[in-house]
Structure formats: C-alpha cells, structure tokens
Amino acid sequence: MYSEKVMDHFSNPRNVGEIENADGIGEVGNAHCGDIMKIYLKVENDIIEDVKFKTFGCGAAVATSSMATELVKGKSIDEALEVTNKAVVEALDGLPPAKLHCSVLAEEAIKAAIEDYKKNQKNK
C-alpha cells in the first residue's frame, strides 16, 4: 500500500524532535481527525537553518512530515513557501489516494510555521 520511500521515512523519520527557542512554530490538524503536525523552524538570514517536527498520525502523516522537513531545510523562506503538497508526494514516490490529505497537512504545517516566523519578526 505504501511505497518504499514512505516506509523508509516512516521507520526512520528525518528531523524528528523540537527546537528550543524556535523562530517559528506551526501546528495544524486536530486529534479528532487523527492527524496533528507540529513544525519548528530555526531561521537565520532568511534561510531555514534547522527544522524539526512532531506528528500524531498514520504512517503517511509521519512520512509526509519527514519529507516536508527535508524539502525545506536549507531553503530560503520564499523557496520554502513554494514547496507544495504535490512536491512532497512526488518525493515520496506517491501516496495512496486516501492519504493525499496528509501531504496537504504537511504543506500547511510548513506554511503555518513560516507565518508564525514572519509574525514574530514583525513583533521584534
């Protein structure tokens, strides 16, 4: 049902954890539906220096979170905003149709974290 890439990112997820004093934190989804993704960003000179995630959800939710963090790490904020759920799905060699919403959630989580970062910048 899942590609080898999905299983790889599920069993050895990249960038799991939290960042202390993160510059931006985004949390999307809810426990009612069974998926929550939380993304932490460390940004320096407009570049995402570090990114971590924590996810409550199915195999696809974990794998898309992991892949999304890989795709935005080292990118500028503008570049990271261009990472779409489609790009996450392609990088994972596809997802079953019923699991596509997980990739949407991953994109939203990254965007939410960037929003939070931007808001924090304004308040500085």
Partner 1 sequence: MDKRRVYMDHAATTYTNKEVLAEMLPFFTDYFGNPSSVHQFGREVKKSVDVAREQVANALGALPEEIYFTAGGSEADNWAIKGIANSYKNKGNHIITTKIEHHAVLHTCEQLEKEGFEVTYLPVDEFGMVSLADVSTAITDKTILISIKYANNEIGTIQPISEIGKIAKGKGIYFHTYAVQAVCNLNINVHEQNIDLLSLSAHKFYGPKGIGALYIRKGIKISNLIHGGAQERRRRAGTENVPGIIGLGKAISIATMNMESHNDKLIKMRNKLINTILEKIPYTRLNGHPIKRLPGNTSFCFEFIEGESLLLSLDMKGIAGSSGSACTSGSLEPSHVLLAIGLTHEIAHGSLRLSLGEINNEEDIDYVLEVLPEIVDRLRSMSPLYEKVKGGKQ
Asked whether position 62 contacts partner 1 by CB under 8 A, the answer is yes
Q: Which is nearer to partner 1, 1 or 90 (CB)?
A: 1
Amino acid letter for position 61: A
Say how far apart CA 47 and CA 43 lie, in whole Å: 5
Asked whether position 31 contacts partner 1 by CB under 8 A, the answer is yes
Asked whether position 26 contacts partner 1 by CB under 8 A, the answer is no
Asked whether position 21 contacts partner 1 by CB under 8 A, the answer is no
Q: Is 102 a catalytic residue?
A: yes
Say how far apart CA 81 and CA 96 lie, in whole Å: 24
Asked whether position 94 contacts partner 1 by CB under 8 A, the answer is no
Sites of contact with partner 1 (CB under 8 A): 2, 7, 10-11, 13, 16, 18, 27, 31-38, 54-62, 98-99
